[in-house]
């Protein structure tokens, strides 16, 4: 357990590093963003004039004053960078997806255990307003026994960008981009499924990699559907959940990402969602269901790095337990197996029993 302020080094200053990691690290008590690895120092200094900028990751890892390394780089680099950071004696946070393969994730877990270092994955959408709201409803039993959950993350992006995510390279495509978010949320709510079925598609003109997916998870007595698309102009529900006592429907994405893009910092009201969900419940047995607006729980992206600081400085629990991140990797990889084989893939660790009473992380 440490008592001093944690010195943090950030590798990568693209969208993930600039919009998510840097502002959240700066907002966390007990943390100081000391250095950033980026080839464009001027770009970093526009936002962070007092932070050192290094051209290569090796220079950051060689610094003895760095306690924690956050990796916000293209997906294919997560494993080698995390491996090098652990070998240098640093605690590590890796942006999602954890790695490209489950075997890589297992190797990093073993290395962290051997070095007695902390390793965690940035699954920030566990702190989305709509997800926290849904989790609270399920914990309270408001919807009764859940029989159906639809989780969608749709966007309308008809033009193929020149970003690495849209080019042929390991870890590119929408499954590795948005799949980890939806899989991790479903697993947090309901546990590991019995089996997974994935369909991938490339629908945009000129697209090189998958930009649309439909994923089904098999549980006893419930259907869980996860979807993401790049050519969805008409609004679709972010969540649609049905249970024996009623339904919850939520439109609109959590606003924190858009606000972080604009402010580059955590500001008051950052997690407040202006679009309430709809809760439809029968007031009494046999009565007609009534639909009412349901104001959600505030989102809290700052909770991740606040939790990392508490864990390292005070011995608190990990904000994202490594075993949960490993299970999400198992689902991500099993989904690809399902797509390649064009069939349901059964999961050894999944018992298929929907976890109706949730436990906090």
Q: Give domain limits for the chain.
A: 6-122, 125-299+328-346
Give, in order, the Cα–Cα distances in Å from 183 to each of 36, 50, 215, 216. 30, 38, 9, 10
pLDDT at 351 over 80: no
Q: What is the pLDDT of residue 283?
A: 81
Q: What is the rounded average pLDDT of the residues 324-349? A: 96
- Decide which of 355 and 44 is more confident: 44
| Strand pairing class (31-37; 52-54) | parallel
- Region 197-225 average pLDDT: 97
Mean pLDDT of 158-177: 95
Please say if the pLDDT value at position 349 is more than 70.
no
- Say yes or no to pLDDT of 215 above 50: yes
Phi, psi of 36 (to 5 degrees): -130, 135
Instruction: Please report the pLDDT score of residue 267 as a whole number.
Output: 87
Structure letter (DSSP) for residue 173: S
The dihedral built from the CA positions of residue 131, 204, 99 and 93, taken in this order, carries a sign that is negative
206: pLDDT strictly greater than 70: yes
Specify the pLDDT at position 350: 67
Q: How far apart are CA 265 and CA 294, in angstroms?
A: 28
pLDDT at 259: 96
pLDDT for 213 equals 98
pLDDT score, position 360: 35
| DSSP alpha helix (H) spans, 93-224 | 102-115, 129-140, 174-190
**pLDDT confidence of residue 284:** 78
pTM metric for this prediction: 0.94
Contact 95, 72 (CB under 8 A): yes
Class of domain 6-122: alpha beta
Cα 346 to chain centroid distance, Å, stands at 23
Fold match, 6-122 / 125-299+328-346? no
Mean pLDDT of the chain: 94
Segment 267-291 mean pLDDT: 91
CATH numeric code, 125-299+328-346: 3.30.360.10
* Average pLDDT score over residue span 92-112: 98
Using CA atoms, how far residue 55 sits from 26, 77, 85, 230, 322, in Å, is: 21, 16, 16, 34, 30
C-beta separation of 319 from 122 below 8 A: no
Mean pLDDT for the stretch of residues 190-218 = 97
Dihedral angle sign, alpha carbons of residues 232, 233, 239, 241: negative
State the average pLDDT over residues 21-39: 97
The pLDDT of residue 337 is: 98
């Amino acid at each position: 357990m440490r008592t001093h302020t944690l010195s943090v080094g950030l590798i990568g200053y693209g969208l993930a590093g600039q919009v998510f990691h840097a502002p959240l690290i700066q907002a966390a008590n007990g943390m100081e963003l000391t250095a950033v690895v980026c080839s464009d120092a001027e770009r970093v200094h526009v936002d962070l004039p007092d932070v050192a900028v290094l051209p290569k990751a090796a220079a950051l890892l060689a610094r003895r004053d760095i306690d924690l390394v956050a990796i916000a780089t293209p997906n294919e680099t997560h494993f080698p960078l995390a491996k090098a950071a652990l070998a240098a004696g640093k605690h590590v946070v890796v942006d999602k997806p954890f790695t490209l393969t489950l075997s890589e994730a297992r190797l990093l877990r073993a290395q962290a255990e051997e070095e007695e270092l902390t390793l965690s994955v940035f699954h920030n959408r566990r702190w989305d307003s709509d997800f926290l709201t849904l989790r609270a409803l399920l914990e309270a039993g408001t919807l009764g026994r859940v029989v159906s959950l639809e989780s969608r993350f749709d966007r309308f992006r008809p033009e193929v960008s020149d970003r690495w995510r849209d080019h042929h390279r390991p870890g590119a495509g929408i499954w590795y981009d948005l799949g980890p978010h939806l899989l991790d949320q479903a697993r947090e709510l309901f546990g590991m499924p019995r089996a997974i079925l994935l369909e991938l598609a490339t629908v945009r003109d000129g697209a090189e990699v998958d930009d649309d997916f439909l994923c089904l998870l098999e549980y006893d007595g419930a259907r869980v559907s996860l979807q993401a698309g790049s050519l969805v102009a008409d609004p679709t529900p972010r969540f649609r959940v049905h249970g024996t006592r009623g339904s919850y429907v939520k439109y609109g994405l959590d606003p924190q990402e858009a606000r972080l893009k604009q402010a580059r910092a955590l500001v008051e009201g950052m997690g407040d969602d202006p679009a309430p969900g709809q809760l439809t419940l029968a007031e009494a047995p046999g009565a007609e269901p009534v639909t009412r607006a349901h104001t959600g729980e505030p989102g809290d992206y700052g909770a991740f790095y606040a939790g990392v600081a508490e864990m390292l400085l005070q011995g608190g629990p990990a904000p994202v337990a490594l075993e949960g991140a490993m299970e999400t990797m198992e689902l991500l990889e099993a989904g690809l197996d399902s797509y390649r084989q064009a069939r349901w893939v059964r999961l050894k660790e999944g018992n298929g029993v929907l976890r109706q009473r949730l436990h906090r992380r």
